[in-house]
Structure 1
Amino acid sequence: MSEVINCPRCNAIFMQNKFRDVCDKCYREEENMYETVYQFLKKRENRAATMDRVIEVTGVDEELLYKWVKKGRIQTRQFPNMGYPCDKCGKIIGTGRICGDCSSELASDLKKFETEQEWKKKSQESGQRTYYTMRDKN
């Protein structure tokens, strides 16, 4: 469903829809910038260009590059040095929302949490209680 909002780039009022998150004017500007980036990357010698190199040569905003890679408009299998930051640590990745290291860390944390929950459940079911005492400091 469409909604009237302000454009995040130019603050103009427009009808937001599921295809565009900026006004028509900014959308056309983004498309022109995309065409510039695509023409740069299309050249064989530029296919291995890094994000910094693309930004330097084309003058496009870093966030726009991230947006295009995330949406799949610039594909990482064709341009291996393109990517976007991991949601957790900021490392540049080509697919998903988090990098492999963060994914492994989350999986190990989840496993640790599940183990703790199992231990708490078993201790409650067994009826054993742990008592703590305090000593007087003399």
Structure 2
Amino acid sequence: MAEVRNCPKCNEFFNYIGLREVCHKCAQSEEELYQIVYRFLRKRENRAATVERIVEATGAEQDLLYKWVRKGRLQPAMFPNLGYPCDNCGHLTNKGKLCTKCQDDLKADLRTFEAAKEFRESVEERDRATYHSDRKR
């Protein structure tokens, strides 16, 4: 069932059914802006444009460009300088939530944690295997 929400752009009420986060009017203006951006990027000389250059040339908001890249509407394979910020460090990435460097750092931390956990478990196991006698000599 639809839910009544306020559009985050124009503050008008709209029925939210899970498809878009904005009202119909704002969605149409976003789509028109998308077409402008896409036509700009299709020109051979603009295919390697950065996000800043696209914003400057088309008037599109940076967050809107990031949203389109996240959703796959603008594909970094076709436009190599496009991406969206890593959730951890802010550097541009084009897949997932983390850039490659942050993914590698996280994997290294997990490996270190797992190695430390295995070491603690082996020490505990060794301590359990040690038997102490209360016999007095």
Q: TM-score range, shorter-chain basis?
A: 0.7 to 0.9
The corresponding residue for 2:101 is 101
Distance (whole Å) between structure 1 residues aligned to residue 112 and residue 122 of structure 2? 15
Percent identical: 49
Structure with greater Cα Rg: 2
The corresponding residue for 2:68 is 68
What does 1:28-107 correspond to in 2, within 5 Å?
28-107=28-107
Q: Give the TM-score of the pair, scaled to structure 1.
A: 0.86
Q: In the TM superposition, what whole-angstrom CA distance separates every residue of 1:89-120 from its partner, at most 9, and x where no partner exists?
A: 11011222211110100000001111111122
Q: Give the TM-score of the pair, scaled to structure 2.
A: 0.86
Q: Which runs of 4+ in 1 moved over 3 A?
A: none
1:28, distance to aligned residue in structure 2 (A): 0.8
1:3, distance to aligned residue in structure 2 (A): 2.6
Question: Could you list the runs of 5+ residues in structure 1 that have no partner in the other structure?
Answer: 129-138
- After superposition, the CA RMSD in angstroms is 1.4
Distance (whole Å) between structure 1 residues aligned to residue 17 and residue 3 of structure 2? 7
Distance (whole Å) between structure 1 residues aligned to residue 125 and residue 14 of structure 2? 59
Look up the equivalent residue of 1:119 and give its one-letter code: F
Question: Could you list the runs of 5+ residues in structure 2 that have no partner in the other structure?
Answer: 129-137
